Every structure is written in structure tokens, then in C-alpha cells.
Chains A and B, each alone.
Chain A
Amino acid sequence: MDNSVGIVSAQRAQFDTPLLCKSGVVLPRYELVYETYGTLNADRSNAVLICHALSGHHHVAGIYADDPRNIGWWDNLIGSGKPIDTDKFFVIGLNNLGGCHGSTGPSSIDTASGQPYGASFPLVTVEDWVESQSRLADQLGIQQFAAVIGGSLGGMQAMQWSLSYPERVRHVLAIATAPHLTAENIAFNDVARNAILTDPDFYGGNFYRHGVVPTRGLRLARMLGHITYLSDDAMADKFGRSLRSGKLGYSYDIEFEIESYLRYQGDKFAAYFDANTYLLMTKALDYFDPARAFDGNLNRAFAAAQAKFLVVSFTTDWRFAPQRSREIVRALLHNKRDVSYAEISSNHGHDSFLMEDAHYFEVMRNYMNTIAQEFAA
């Protein structure tokens, strides 16, 4: 593989200081699983944190020795000579608290009860994640990140970093994200949640002890979500009205290619993702709203930020539309913060932020290079 960071392995960090969540619930102890790529420089000034989106995790780049086909989800962007250049930066990816890829979450065993947390796991928020990430940074000896980077829900975390810990982040790269979800966006999340919550195998979130998984709900949730991550054009290009068998079957079986694709995606997802984590992640999306504490005034919310920003949106992203990114840009302009904004022409809807695109990657590369010049100088 070209310029891959190569074989990587996950590490675990243990936290025994209780975390007081936004909800008021206290998590007495937890673990975070993470990966790192590149080398932390002598003055610890080249660290970059990658925040993941709804279904993401800590495996951001490279491959595993025992599973070489498991390539990191942002491997196209991160590696030697890639836009986020691991020859220059020390890159950290983690699985968020509440996740289902190794960090403490609803499917983890609660040592107090010896049972999976299930429904008792707190609803964690973007602020809680930033708090837990800051403790990981403490453990790794990183006082200040050169950049915190994320797309979608990950972009929300990157922005929250600049508000929770203004002095601990020099640059924020907020990609395909929004200052809060719209009613329409919350509505999509709620339909997805309802698919899970009403699945008879959900058992109020405690399905683990029944030895079942709310597969039907989870796959419906994923199918719905997936539609909203694509664009109408991308779906038309990829599937159109193509029929699997070439003719109409007059039945409710899979006929159109798009049906086949969505069901496949739903099945694949339901086979590994935790239903409680899905619920929790969508709630974190819904709750994120830094302006809320300022009577809805985003300008005032961003007054705390000191970081320089790169805001990136994609023309066909209707789930996190360019207009939403512009709201972030306006609040930063109001506060006279350094900000650049690029609106990338792309056909792939919200998923564009994960895909290789020459212009998008050039923007990312150029921005990261200016950051690298700060500590190379």
C-alpha cells in the first residue's frame, strides 16, 4: 500500500478519576482505546487529534498485522506524505467514550455489577468527549494540540475543543459539520432511534443479558442514515433504477439495486455495531449546541475560541449543508478569529468528507503544511 503508516496496533488508557458527565451522571472509571501514528517531537508541539463521527473509531490509518484488510477509516488522508503527514505530525485516533470498539461503552462490563452497562451507561455529550480526550492528552503528555480535526460529529468535537480548552488547541479543522443539528436532522436521528427502541430484541437497552441483538432496528437505523449520507445525484449515478434481475418481479423481494445495497449496508453494520452506542451517538449529535448557553447566540459562544480554523463543506452534503458551515464561519468572523472556508464541489453528499478528492486533499494538505511551518520554524 502506498505511503500507508503500515502496521499499527491499538493501545489502552485507563482513567480512575471519576468523570462527571453533562447529564449529571458520574462515571467512576473508564478506558479509552487509541492508536498513534508518527512521532511526538521534542517540544510536544506536533500532536494532532482525530475525532470520529457516528460510526467511527480509533483505527484511523494503517492496517493490523493480523487483519491486513482492515484499513483505517481515514487512511487516504493520513500517512507519510499524505495531507495529514505522519512524517511531520504525531496523529492520535481514539474510540470515544460510549463507543463499541474497545473504549468503555454500553456493551462493556460494569465492574460494579459484573454485567454490561446497557441502559445504565450515561448519555455522554460532545463536551464529555472533549473532557475525556483532554485526559488522554494529559496521559500522553500533550499540553496543546497543533490541530484537532474531525468531520461531521467529529467536527463538533473539534469545535468544542476550542471552546472547552481554548489554550490547548492551535488549529481546528471542522469538516462537513454544523454548529447544531436542524429539526430535520434531529428527526432523522429520532426515526433511527425509534427503529432500535421499538425492536422487541432491544429490551430497554439490556439485550445483552437476553443473548440477543436488536438487529432489525439497527439495520433500519443504518439504512435510513445511509440514505442521508449520500446525495440524490450519487445514488442516481451509482444505482439509478437498475434492477437486479433486469425485470420487475411484482413482489416485495429485493428488486432495485439500491434496495440490495442498502440492505447489505444495514446487515453489515448491524453485525458489528452496538445498538446502545448508536443511540448514544445520535443523542450526542442532537444535543450539541454551543450557542444554547448563550441564548442561542453563536457569536457569543465562539468568543471563547482562540484557535485558527479551517472550515470545509461539500456542495452536495444536505445532511450538513454548506450553509451550516457558513454559520460557523460567520461566528468566527464576528469574533475576528483566523478562519478559512472552502466549499468543495463533490458529488458524494455527506460521505464526501471521507473520500479522496484532489481539491479537498490539496486544501487539507496546504493547511496542514502551514501548521507544520509553525513548529518547523
Chain B
Amino acid sequence: MSNDYSQLGQLRPDFAAIAAWLPQGASVLDLGCGDGSLLRYLRETRGVRGYGVEISDADVAACIANNVNVIQNDLESGLADFESNSFDFVILSQTLQATRHTEPLMQEMLRVGREGIVSFPNFGYWKNRVNILRGNMPVSKDLPYQWYDTPNVHLCTLHDFETFCRKYRMLILDRRVMAGGSAVNMLPNLLGSTAVYRFRRAA
């Protein structure tokens, strides 16, 4: 079982990118943690300890089955259960685009944690642009929803996200851009399908 999880990084390069940033034994809060896969992977590869926050009943039950600490709560109501500076890292993995109150939540991440980590699908990815040019909303592995059933309300491009961070005084420390499991270094906003950022409050 634990082998499955330590090899999950091959299937999920965004998980591997996050793991590479975390020192051994870091404390982590994973917002919108789903079934707890990321936390379990980070526990087994980096020895991190921490908690997930999840609203879905099925995912909460799955986290418990995965032996991952999970607190059932709605992210949109803030992180009031968590004390300031109580975690090394607060992670928002593939959830940013589905949050309604995105800016307050990002601020909350940096209240609760020393650093924030965010991953999201890049709406500026060239295939998405081609879809739009053809006249359709993009549907892909990273954006697997139809326009009428998507939970995504705040899709953005890498440029948008970086502009947002500047505006709200969040300092980007590192960035990994990927497409199809490989790192993208050239023209990331065009060639990257998904991105992971590490940031903290600007001094």
C-alpha cells in the first residue's frame, strides 16, 4: 500500500513538485484535500504531519480510511479553526479555481502558514486558447468539466495569478510549470497546462 503512495509522484508531477519543496517533517495544512492522497503521499515521502480540510462527505470518509487527519469544513467560511502561524505550509492543490472568495482565502493561508503553495490549471495553456478560438470552452484532463457542470468559478492564467500576487503583496518564491507530466521552462503561460507556486507574505 505504501509503495503505491510513494510512486504517486510519477502520476502526479504536481504532487512531486510540492514534495520537493517540503523539508522532512514539515507541518502542512492541505485545503480542499480531497481523499487525502496528497497528505498521505507527503507523509510517506517527506514525513510531514498535518491536516486536511474538506467539505465533501465522501472525501472526509476517504481521508479517514487513508489515515489522514481531516477537518470537515467549508473553506469559504475561512480558516477560523486554525491559529495564526500554526503551520509551515498551507497548500491549496487544484482548488484555487473553485474558490469563491479567493483573495480572502489566500490571505488566510498566509495568516495560518509561514508559506503558501498553490497549484491550478493554467487557463492560458495553448490548447485552451485553441479551444476558445474554435468557439468552445476547453475540456481536458486538467479542466475535466463541461461549462454547465464545472465547479470552477475563478480560472486564471499564470500571468493573472502573478499579477494578483503582486497586487496583494504576496511574494512568489518558486514556480513549477508542467504539461503532460514534464517540466515546462519556455513560454510557460502558453506551454504549461498546470502550475504550482510557492509564496509568502511580501515584507
Contacts and interface: CB of A to CB of B under 8 A. Distances in A.
Interface residues of A, number: 23
A19 interface: no
Given A330-B81, A333-B82, A333-B86, A369 B65 contact: yes
Given A333-B51, A333-B82, A333-B86, A363 B69 contact: no
Contacts, number: 56
Contact of B71 (A340, A345, A370, A373): A340
Contacts of A326: 81
B61 A366 contact: yes
Contacts of A341: 70-73
19 contacts: A330-B81, A333-B51, A333-B81, A333-B83, A336-B27, A339-B71, A340-B68, A340-B69, A341-B73, A342-B57, A342-B72, A345-B57, A359-B57, A362-B61, A363-B60, A366-B61, A366-B64, A366-B65, A373-B67
Contact of A339 (B61, B67, B69, B83): B69
A363 B83 contact: no
Interface in A356-371: 359, 362-363, 366-367, 369-370
Interface string A245-276: 00000000000000000000000000000000
Contacts of B72: 341-343
Interface string B82-106: 1100100000000000000000000
Nearest to A309: B69
A369 B67 CA distance: 9
Interface in B40-84: 49, 51, 57, 60-65, 67-73, 81-83
A367 B185 CA distance: 43
B143 to A, nearest CB: 29
B71 A359 contact: no
Nearest to A322: B72
Contacts of B49: 336
Contact of B65 (A330, A336, A339, A370): A370
Given A329-B71, A341-B72, A359 B83 contact: no
B61 A340 contact: no
The 3 A-B residue pairs with the shortest CB-CB distance, nearest first, are A366-B65, A366-B64, A370-B67
B71 A367 contact: no
Nearest to A370: B67
A330 to B, nearest CB: 5
A117 B182 CA distance: 77
A363 B63 CA distance: 9
Interface residues on B, range: 20 to 34
Interface of B: 27, 49, 51, 57, 60-65, 67-73, 81-83, 86
A312 B31 CA distance: 20
B63 A340 contact: yes
A338 interface: yes
A310 interface: yes
B61 A359 contact: yes
Contact of B64 (A333, A340, A345, A373): A340
Interface of A: 310, 326, 329-330, 333-334, 336, 338-345, 359, 362-363, 366-367, 369-370, 373
A230 B126 CA distance: 56
A343 B61 CA distance: 11
A340 B70 contact: yes
Contact of B81 (A329, A344, A366): A329
B70 A334 contact: no
A347 to B, nearest CB: 15
Contacts of A340: 60, 63-64, 68-71
Nearest to A327: B81
A359 B58 CA distance: 8
Contacts of B86: 333-334
Contacts of B67: 370, 373
Nearest to B64: A366
A306 to B, nearest CB: 15
B98 to A, nearest CB: 20
Given A340-B71, A342-B72, A359-B57, A367 B81 contact: no
B60, B62, B82: most-surrounded residue (chain A CB, <10 A): B60
A276 to B, nearest CB: 40
A321 B172 CA distance: 41
A44 B58 CA distance: 33
Nearest to A361: B61
Contacts of A310: 64
B51 A342 contact: no
A40 to B, nearest CB: 24
B60 A342 contact: yes
A195 B62 CA distance: 46
A344 B63 CA distance: 15
Q: Which of B61, B63, B65, B73 has the most CB of A within 10 A?
A: B61
Contacts of B71: 329, 333, 339-341
Given A329-B71, A338-B69, A340-B71, A363 B81 contact: no
B67 to A, nearest CB: 5
A310 B67 CA distance: 11
Contacts of A359: 57, 61
Given A363-B61, A370-B67, 12 more contacts: A329-B81, A333-B83, A333-B86, A334-B83, A336-B49, A339-B51, A340-B64, A342-B61, A359-B57, A359-B61, A363-B64, A366-B64
